[in-house]
Structure 1
């Protein structure tokens, strides 16, 4: 298994995935969540080299990442199942089942909450929030 902190995935992923997407839009800001692979020197250098503008993100701030809240929804629903998964295959089946049951409106709500979340983090000067 290759670590995402190695230079090879970073050198290939950034130009192949991020750069073409970001270059399609003028004044685009790339949002990342400060995960270690995203803040690695090689990643940052590659993004700078390709003139990718990055949205500043407070360290360890899951409140600005809607996927973290979605995974929380998934985990709660899986934990509430009558029979919790015991194997990898059962977990995969449970995730697939629960994923299909999450209402689209709930996902849309998470995405639309980003403005409020950003404003809250700014007001807290990057400190802890209720999210």
Structure 2
């Protein structure tokens, strides 16, 4: 498994783990070692977004997040693909597949993934964040009724 996190101005180190991820392992190897440290180091990062992976939702994980004062962004189930990092994972996968020679062992794959992650320029992450925010707003706007408000104190003689 591979885990990483991005923000408008920063990205975490890439974490690779063998085997499955349960709540305790997620807390010990991701939240405690990376997320808490990352957010403490970068004061401009004040929200943490998770997807709906099994390790993210158990009570144990929620208690840890609350006890460590990590503010999370609630993410509705009907918008699963709007996280900007999903687009980044796709780009990293494409870059690894284009490598010559291609990685053939698990260790080579891990090295290739880390190198591609490290080489991601922050401006590309910013573009994804901006695109994601626009997409989220478009999706949210389609779900709710729009109300037009017209100013009542506009003079008939004034030009637009």
TM-score, with length taken from structure 1: 0.61
Structure 1 runs, 4 residues or longer, greater than 6 Å off: 11-16
Q: 1:33 to 1:3 in 2, by over 3 A?
A: closer
For the 8 Å contact 2:26–2:55, the answer to whether it is kept is: no
- The Cα offsets for residues 38-77 of structure 1, whole Å up to 9 and x where unpaired, read as 211222244456665432202271322x222211101011
Moved more, 41-50 or 79-88: 41-50
> Counterpart of 1:62?
81
Structure 2: any 5+ residue segments left out of the alignment? 1-18, 144-160
1:89 lines up with 2:107 in the alignment: yes
Q: CA deviation at 1:101?
A: 4.1
Higher Cα radius of gyration? 2
CA RMSD of aligned residues (A): 3.7
CA distance 1:45–1:89, change in 2 (3 Å): closer
Q: Distance in 2 between matches of 1:97 and 1:12?
A: 21
Which structure exhibits the higher relative contact order, with contacts defined as CA atoms closer than 8 Å and separated by 6 or more residues?
2
Higher helix share: 1
Say if 1:4 and 1:80 are closer, same or farther in 2 by CA, change over 3 A. same
- Give the count of matched residue pairs: 120
Q: Distance in 2 between matches of 1:29 and 1:68?
A: 17
1:76 maps to what in 2?
A: 94
For 2:50 and 2:70, the matched residues in 1 are separated by 12
Is the CA contact (8 Å cut-off) linking 1:11 and 1:46 kept in structure 2? Answer: no
Q: What is the rounded CA distance, in whole Å, between the counterparts of 1:11 and 1:92 in structure 2?
A: 21
Task: Structure 1: give runs of 5+ residues left out of the alignment.
Answer: 126-131
Paired position in structure 1 for 2:60: 42
- Kept in 1, the 8 Å contact 2:92–2:113? The answer is yes
